[in-house]
Amino acid sequence: MSGYIEAQLIILCLSIIYAYGIFLPAASGQLNLGAAGFITLGAYASAWFNASTGAELPMWLSIPLAMIFTGIIAFAISFPILRTRGVYMVLATFAFAEVVSGVAINLEFVGGAAGFPVDDHADVTVIVPVTIAVILFSFYFMSTRLGLSLRSIHDDESVATLFGVNVRTSKVVAFTVGAMLMSLGGSLYGHHYNYIEAQTFNVLLSIYILLYVLMGGTQTAWGPLIGATFFAVVPEALREIAESAGLKWLAEGRFILFGVFIVLLMVFRSEGVMTRTLQDRLGGGLFRRKKPIADDMAGGS
């Protein structure tokens, strides 16, 4: 595998992990713009646990500890944040990410603005299997009772409450688990590049990750995978095609075309590429839920 392909594969895998971290709360209607904050927490916590100036733990232990550390913080802040709705939640999570970035820049024991070195290295043989595990976990999570609760909350919170769904608990769990997945992505980022800077995890990163999910769709677990893959692959593919064809204008203006496509997609398909209806059509009977036996008996009678 060439260095270029490996680098693109790493970017794709990290994007997928980030996207699923945002997807889990988004599945219940929570728009989270604080991805950069949780990624920063994971990256710095794992780096410190692993560093010779910190706890000096191996990578296989420092990453889970960083996820737990981030999960505790996410759980604590979820209660005030989840009291907000719509644009106010977006602003609250954005403010959280900015606070985390500001704190990381001013903490000298993790390098401050100069950044912080990471000791152990995670190559493609580590990151790819972890990404596959995250994808499988997310599909399983959305198939559980909790995942179905999140879908019902997204569709109609009032009706979900009437049917006995604990809305607050479901949202807190989704927010916390999503933050832990983003922390995992941040940890892998730090261990792959062996250096982290708080400025790398900025608001643009949070916006891109949210776009991955919104473009792919929040109705099924396929959405983040499709959105992240599209964002990571298409721009580079356009550049390769343009350069091989000698179309310099396309190589330089590919992001303009990419932006126009995103706008058109949001206008004409605001629910995202993959919806439950499309999933059922493409999967035939594989993804379609079976009717209860009582319904079949009623139909037969």
Tens digits of residue pLDDT in 197-249: 999 999 999 999 999 999 999 989 999 999 999 988 888 888 888 878 777 77
CA angle 230, 170, 152 (to 5 degrees): 70
Domain that holds residue 109: 3-202
Asked whether residue 23 is domain-assigned, the answer is yes
- Give residue 288's pLDDT: 54
Asked whether residue 212 is domain-assigned, the answer is no
Reference 16, options 183, 134, 190; nearest CA is 134
What's the pTM value of the predicted model, to 2 decimals? 0.90
The count of other CB atoms within 10 Å of the CB of residue 126 is 18
- Give residue 287's pLDDT: 54
CA angle 42, 272, 223 (to 5 degrees): 45
Tens digits of residue pLDDT in 55-95: 789 999 999 999 999 999 999 999 999 999 888 999 999 99
Asked whether residue 207 is domain-assigned, the answer is no
- Give residue 171's pLDDT: 95
Using the CB atoms, write b or e for 89-112: b if 16+ within 10 Å.
bbebbbebbbebbeebbeeeebbe
Three-state SS for 195?
Answer: strand
Tens digits of residue pLDDT in 89-137: 999 999 999 999 999 999 888 888 899 999 999 999 999 999 999 999 9
Contact assessment for residue 33 and residue 93, using Cβ atoms and an 8 Å cutoff: yes
Helices 248-268, 203-216: axis angle to 10 degrees equals 60
Query: Mean pLDDT over residues 270-292, rounded?
Result: 71
Which percentage of the chain shows pLDDT scores above 70? 92
Asked whether residue 298 is domain-assigned, the answer is no
Count of domains observed in the chain: 1
Structure tokens at 83: 């009291």
Secondary structure (DSSP) of 115-159: -EE--S---HHHHHHHHHHHHHHHHHHHHSHHHHHHHHHHH-HHH
Rounded to whole angstroms, the Cα distance separating 238 from 240 reads 5
Asked whether residue 114 is domain-assigned, the answer is yes
Tens digits of residue pLDDT in 39-50: 999 999 999 999
Asked whether residue 99 is domain-assigned, the answer is yes
Asked whether residue 24 is domain-assigned, the answer is yes
Asked whether residue 264 is domain-assigned, the answer is no
Work out the mean pLDDT of the chain and round it to a whole number. Answer: 88
Q: How confident is the model at residue 278 (pLDDT cuts 50, 70, 90)?
A: confident
DSSP state of 33: -
Contact assessment for residue 226 and residue 273, using Cβ atoms and an 8 Å cutoff: yes
